[in-house]
C-alpha cells in the first residue's frame, strides 16, 4: 500500500488474512504477529505479514477477539462522518425491508425492529433495538463504548431525518460478554443530549397489530425477541380453529398471534413466573382473555407429563393440534453442540408424540452453533423416534432487521420450521 495511513499497524498471520479475505470480520489474539503502540479501543490498520493491507478495525486489548474490522475500503477515514453513514445505511435497510410489510391496519413494521445488528451492519459491538419512541442498546466492546456518544447521536439524527422521533435511550450494558473486554456491567437511561429519562422502564409497544407491555430493564435481551416477528405471523396464518400449545412463551407473542389468527384456544407455558405474568397482562391488553390460559412450568418436564397423563392434558386444554417450540439457545459454545442436539431432539420428540395426524409443529433454534443442518437432523431423528412422517410447510430464518452477513456465520443464528404431521 503506497498511501500513508493514519492508524497504528497490526500485522497478522496468513491464516487470519485468508479469513478476512473470505469476509469474516474478526482477528483473534493468537493471529496477531506484531502491533504498534495503540490505546484500547483505537482504530488500527490490519496488514498481512507480506505487507498487504486487509482493512481497518477497532482494537480490543483484553479480548481474544483482538480486532473487529469496520472497513475494507482504504479510502475510508473512520471518523464521525463514517459512523453517521453506517448508521444511516442501517436504518435505510430497515425501512427498505420492513417499511411496507405491515399487516392491514397495523403499525409500520419498522416501528419495532433492530436498527443496528453489530458486525452485520458494520458497527461491531453495538445492538440497538427500536421500541417505537425508545431505543434499547447493548454495547459489547471497548471501541464502541468509547464511540457511544457519536453513534447514539447518529442514531437519533438518522431517525429524526426520517420523521421518526426517539424520546429516550435505555442501555442494557449488563451482559457477561462485557467482562471479556474489561468493561463494567450496568443498565439505565442514557443522559445524552436530545433525550430524557422516563419515569419507568415499562413501555407499551405494538407488533403485528398487537399491544405488548414490556419491561426493558429486567426482561431477557433488550425486552423482546424482535427476530421472530415474521415467524409469529406464519404461526398466525395457520392457527384458525386450532388448539395451540405455546412452549417457552416468554411474554406471549407466539400465543397472542395464534389467538389473533383465530385459534380456538391457546395454552402458554414458560418456566418464568415473571414472563407468565407479563404474558397474561398482554393477553388482557389485547382482549384475548377468553381464548388463552397460562402455566408456569419447565417445558422439558411439562411435555412428558402431558404425554403420560391424558387427564392432565385435557385439564391444560388439549389435545393440541398446533405446538410452538421457541426454546432459549441450548448451546452457546461449539463444545456443547452434541448435548444441545439431544435437547432439541427430545423436545421435538415430546411435541410430536402429542400431536395428531394432520397437526402442526412450529419449531426453531436460536444458536448459531446449532446450524440449520444440525437442527434439521435433530428434528428428523425425533420424527423417526416418534414414528411419524413430517411434511415441511415452511422454512424460515430471523427477520431482515437481523441481517445475515455472508462470510460471518455468527450472524446466522435463528432457524425456524413449520411441519405438518402426516
Cell of 2: 503506497
pLDDT of residue 237: 98
Question: How confident is residue 255, by pLDDT bands cut at 50, 70 and 90?
Answer: very high
Least confidently predicted of 49-63, 138-152, 210-224: 210-224
pLDDT of residue 195: 85
Indicate the average pLDDT of the chain: 95
| HEC profile of 356-370 | CCCCEEEEEECCCCC
- Residues 286-295: what's their mean pLDDT? 96
Listed in order, strand segments (DSSP E) in 259-374 are 265-270, 292-296, 322-325, 360-365
Collapse the DSSP code of 17 into the 3-class scheme (helix H, G, I; strand E, B; otherwise coil) and give the result.
helix
pLDDT tens digits along 99-127: 999 999 999 999 999 999 999 999 999 99
Q: For the chain, which domains are there?
A: 9-71 (2.30.130.10), 80-204 (3.30.750.80), 225-421 (3.40.50.150)
pTM of the model: 0.94
* CA distance linking residue 136 with residue 168, whole number of Å: 9
Q: Is the confidence at residue 262, as pLDDT, over 70?
A: yes
CA max distance for the chain: 78
- Residues 383-409: what's their mean pLDDT? 97
* CA distance linking residue 341 with residue 336, whole number of Å: 9
pLDDT tens digits along 22-34: 999 999 999 999 9
Q: Is the confidence at residue 65, as pLDDT, over 70?
A: yes
pLDDT of residue 125: 97
Q: Is the confidence at residue 159, as pLDDT, over 80?
A: yes
- For the chain, give the percent of residues with pLDDT over 70: 99
pLDDT of residue 1: 53
Beta bridge partners of 27: 67
pLDDT tens digits along 80-104: 999 999 999 999 999 999 999 999 9
Question: How confident is residue 3, by pLDDT bands cut at 50, 70 and 90?
Answer: low
Question: How confident is residue 146, by pLDDT bands cut at 50, 70 and 90?
Answer: very high
Residue numbers annotated as active site? 366
Helix axes 253-260, 273-285, angle to 10 degrees: 30
**Could you write out the DSSP letters of every residue in 203-267?**
EEEEETTEEEEEETTTSSTTSS-GGGHHHHHHHHHH-TT-EEEEES-TTSHHHHHHHHTT-SEEE
Give Rg (Cα) of the chain: 23
- Contact of 55 with 69, CB cutoff 8 Å: yes
* More reliable by pLDDT, 244 or 329: 244
pLDDT of residue 158: 97
Q: Is the confidence at residue 2, as pLDDT, over 60?
A: no
Amino acid at each position: 500500500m503506497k498511501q500513508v495511513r493514519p492508524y497504528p499497524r497490526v500485522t497478522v498471520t496468513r491464516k487470519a488474512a485468508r479469513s478476512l479475505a473470505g469476509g469474516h470480520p474478526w482477528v483473534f489474539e493468537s493471529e496477531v504477529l506484531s502491533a504498534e503502540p495503540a490505546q484500547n479501543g483505537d482504530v488500527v490498520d490490519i496488514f498481512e505479514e507480506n505487507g498487504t493491507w486487509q482493512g481497518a478495525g477497532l482494537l480490543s486489548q483484553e479480548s481474544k477477539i483482538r480486532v473487529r474490522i469496520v472497513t475494507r475500503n482504504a479510502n475510508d477515514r473512520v471518523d464521525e462522518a463514517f459512523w453517521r453513514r453506517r448508521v444511516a445505511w442501517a436504518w435505510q435497510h430497515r425501512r427498505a425491508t420492513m417499511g411496507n410489510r405491515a399487516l392491514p391496519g397495523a403499525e409500520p413494521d419498522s416501528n419495532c425492529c433492530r436498527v443496528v445488528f453489530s458486525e452485520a451492519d458494520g458497527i461491531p459491538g453495538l445492538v440497538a433495538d427500536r421500541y417505537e419512541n425508545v431505543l434499547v442498546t447493548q454495547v459489547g466492546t471497548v471501541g464502541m463504548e468509547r464511540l457511544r456518544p457519536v453513534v447514539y447521536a447518529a442514531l437519533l439524527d438518522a431517525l429524526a431525518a426520517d420523521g421518526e422521533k426517539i424520546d429516550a435511550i435505555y442501555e442494557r450494558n449488563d451482559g457477561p460478554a462485557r467482562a471479556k473486554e474489561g468493561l463494567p456491567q450496568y443498565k439505565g437511561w442514557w443522559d445524552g443530549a436530545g433525550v430524557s429519562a422516563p419515569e419507568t422502564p415499562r413501555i407499551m409497544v405494538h407488533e403485528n397489530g398487537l399491544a405488548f407491555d414490556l419491561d426493558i430493564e429486567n426482561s431477557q435481551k433488550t425486552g423482546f425477541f424482535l427476530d421472530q416477528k415474521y415467524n409469529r405471523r406464519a404461526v398466525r396464518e395457520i392457527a384458525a380453529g386450532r388448539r395451540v400449545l405455546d412452549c417457552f412463551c416468554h411474554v406471549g407473542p407466539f400465543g397472542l398471534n395464534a389467538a389473533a389468527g383465530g385459534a380456538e384456544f391457546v395454552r402458554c407455558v414458560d418456566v418464568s413466573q415473571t414472563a407468565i405474568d407479563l404474558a397474561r397482562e398482554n393477553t388482557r391488553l389485547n382482549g384475548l382473555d377468553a381464548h388463552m390460559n397460562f402455566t408456569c412450568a419447565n417445558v422439558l418436564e411439562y411435555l412428558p407429563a402431558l404425554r403420560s397423563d391424558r387427564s392432565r392434558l385435557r385439564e391444560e386444554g388439549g389435545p393440541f393440534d398446533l405446538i410452538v417450540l421457541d426454546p432459549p439457545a441450548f448451546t452457546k459454545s461449539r463444545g456443547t453442540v452434541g448435548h444441545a442436539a439431544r435437547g432439541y431432539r427430545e423436545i421435538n420428540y415430546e411435541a410430536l408424540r402429542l400431536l395428531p395426524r394432520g397437526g402442526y409443529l412450529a419449531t426453531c433454534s436460536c444458536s448459531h452453533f446449532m446450524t440449520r443442518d444440525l437442527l434439521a437432523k435433530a428434528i428428523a431423528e425425533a420424527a423417526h423416534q416418534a414414528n411419524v412422517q413430517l411434511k415441511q410447510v415452511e422454512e424460515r430464518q430471523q427477520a431482515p432487521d437481523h441481517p445475515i452477513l455472508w462470510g460471518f456465520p455468527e450472524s446466522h443464528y435463528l432457524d425456524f420450521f413449520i411441519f405438518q404431521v402426516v
